[in-house]
Amino acid sequence: MAERQICYERLTWPQIREAAQADKVVVIPFASIEQHGPHLPVDVDLRLASEVCRRAVERSEHALLMTPMAFGFEPHHMAWPGTIDVDWDVLIRYGVCVVSSLVRHGFKRVLIINGHGSNRPILEMIVRLAQVKHPEALIAGQSWFALGAVAEAFGPLQASDHTSHACELETAAYLAVDPDLVDMSQAVPDYSFRRSPHFWADLTGKKPDADSTVPLVAMEYFATGSYTGVRGDPTKATAENGEVALEAAASEVAQIVDEMRAREILSPPDYHDADVEDLKRRAAAAKPR
């Protein structure tokens, strides 16, 4: 499928109207511009999220690739030059505005694929608020690196202790996309982050230590746990392994597109005046589906 046909911003308004009438799922990359160590460009999150979305949309006749939401929540990364920080509430309002515009034009299904760790709570609020505002639509999202297929595909190949930031996974994926922009001569491992059972992070959710348990929601200033802007070991990265991770992510996103199209959009009921016994009977008769 030609890029001109899959990219929202390269269509005319009649073509966009046709896409909405065809019930296409709009896939939106959501990312950031931030430092990624001395060896990677600052567009890592944007480039990788966009790549996953593009590959997924190319796999599906039922999807349309939206212009990326390129910036993210970044106050903890401002110790190094290059990072662009946007206030959380601005990002949430911005994301809801984008979704609302799409719904106004007739799109009923919107999938946001995130590429930046600290956008995760922002993503959740965009999805929740947009869904409440537009019960006639289905809004969903996930981070590409958190998809089950990525952990399953990349986990057996992972050579470093953990993946977190400018790490083996992100470096490998960027090598697969644009190796000329990766300076592996500047790549260094940085494990200065102080790990403990409840303080750790891994992009694919892999527990780094035997005593690691469910991690706390915490984001200390990044420079308190990294000298270089790296967390992990990018020197272990290979383009081949990055290609495996990207393909796994794209394949799962394409599957999610199909799942969203098949999901019936139900109008929210109001049970204020409902008969409680009737609701209990209906609940008891319901079958998993």
Q: Is the pTM of this model over 0.75?
A: yes
Checking if the pLDDT of 178 tops 70, the result is yes
User: How far is Cα 1 from Cα 22, in angstroms, rounded to an integer?
Assistant: 17
Rounded average pLDDT over 93-108: 98
Phi (first) and psi of residue 190, to 5 degrees: -140, 105
What is the reported pLDDT for 150? 98
Domains defined for the chain, CATH in brackets: 3-265 (3.40.50.10310)
The percent of residues in the chain predicted with pLDDT above 90, rounded, is 94
Provide the token pair at 218. Answer: 């915490």
**Each residue's pLDDT tens digit, 245-285:** 999 999 999 999 999 999 999 999 999 999 999 999 999 99
User: How far is Cα 131 from Cα 30, in angstroms, rounded to an integer?
Assistant: 17
Checking if the pLDDT of 1 tops 60, the result is no
User: How far is Cα 72 from Cα 87, in angstroms, rounded to an integer?
Assistant: 8
Rounded average pLDDT over 176-189: 98
Checking if the pLDDT of 232 tops 60, the result is yes
Do the bridges between strand 138-143 and strand 63-65 make them parallel or antiparallel, or are there none, so unpaired?
Answer: unpaired
Whole-angstrom CA distances from 134 to 15, 105, 138, 141 are: 23, 13, 8, 15
Rounded average pLDDT over 113-121: 97
Which residue is it, tokens 């997924």?
Answer: 56
Checking if the pLDDT of 4 tops 70, the result is no
What is the reported pLDDT for 2? 47
Contact call for residues 197 and 210 (beta carbons, < 8 A):
no
